[in-house]
Chains A and B, each alone.
Chain A
Amino acid sequence: GAVVSQHPSRVICKSGTSVKIECRSLDFQATTMFWYRQFPKKSLMLMATSNEGSKATYEQGVEKDKFLINHASLTLSTLTVTSAHPEDSSFYICSARVVRSDTQYFGPGTRLTVL
């Protein structure tokens, strides 16, 4: 149980285009999902916390208009990187928190490369 999927697993796009990444909890409902960014050989940086049916809460320094987060249902959250630039290239990971639990389950990540 507690499986989280992400799609796509890898994406390459041109500079200036937008990319959408999906995060799904497959066998449980998640009122809260989290989006992280991981740089090479570094730890995970929390970008935003996404609650179903409400606006996401962004961490300091994360541009809301660039990283659009939508949490439309209890099993799906999306991250859209708008007007992508090469510096947005990174590994993006989502996690979902099981209702009434302190445990987060992580997706396998999405490798974004912006040319």
Chain B
Amino acid sequence: GNSVTQMEGPVTLSEEAFLTINCTYTATGYPSLFWYVQYPGEGLQLLLKATKADDKGSNKGFEATYRKETTSFHLEKGSVQVSDSAVYFCALQGGSEKLVFGKGTKLTVNP
């Protein structure tokens, strides 16, 4: 079945540091890929998505590229801020329209 594996946290960075959160997936066919962010005490918010190979999703300085050859969708940001502190979830959606989530990576950014 479909599955998502993302790097375990927690990840702690200083403000303005470079961020990478790795995400790899296993799926049949050609799934859509997503990154969701969950701020403390809140529900999930869609951060970015990509629907086909080589697509790059981007939002709020975050980027992720759909790499079919490596089955990856790593999240990156060049310079993180304290306000980026949250839990980040990688997810895929196959033909059944169900979202399959990774376990989440908690990011803490210190001033």
| Cβ–Cβ contact A43 & B97, under 8 A | no
- Asked whether A105 is an interface residue with its Cβ less than 8 Å from the other chain, the reply is yes
The A69-115 residues at the B interface (CB cut-off 8 A) are 93, 95, 97, 102-109
- Given contacts A43-B89, A44-B89, whether A49 and B45 have CB atoms under 8 Å apart is no
Interface residues, chain A, CB within 8 Å of chain B? 4, 6, 32, 34, 41-44, 46, 49, 93, 95, 97, 102-109
| Cβ–Cβ contact B32 & A102, under 8 A | yes
- Given contacts A43-B103, A102-B51, whether A32 and B43 have CB atoms under 8 Å apart is no
| B43, B49, B99, B103 pick with most chain A CB within 10 angstroms | B43
| Cβ–Cβ contact B102 & A97, under 8 A | no
**Whose C-beta in chain B lies nearest to the C-beta of A2?**
B46
Could you say which residues of chain B place their CB within 8 Å of the CB of A42? 103-104
**Whose C-beta in chain A lies nearest to the C-beta of B34?**
A103
- Given contacts A44-B101, A103-B49, whether A108 and B42 have CB atoms under 8 Å apart is yes
| Cβ–Cβ contact B97 & A109, under 8 A | no
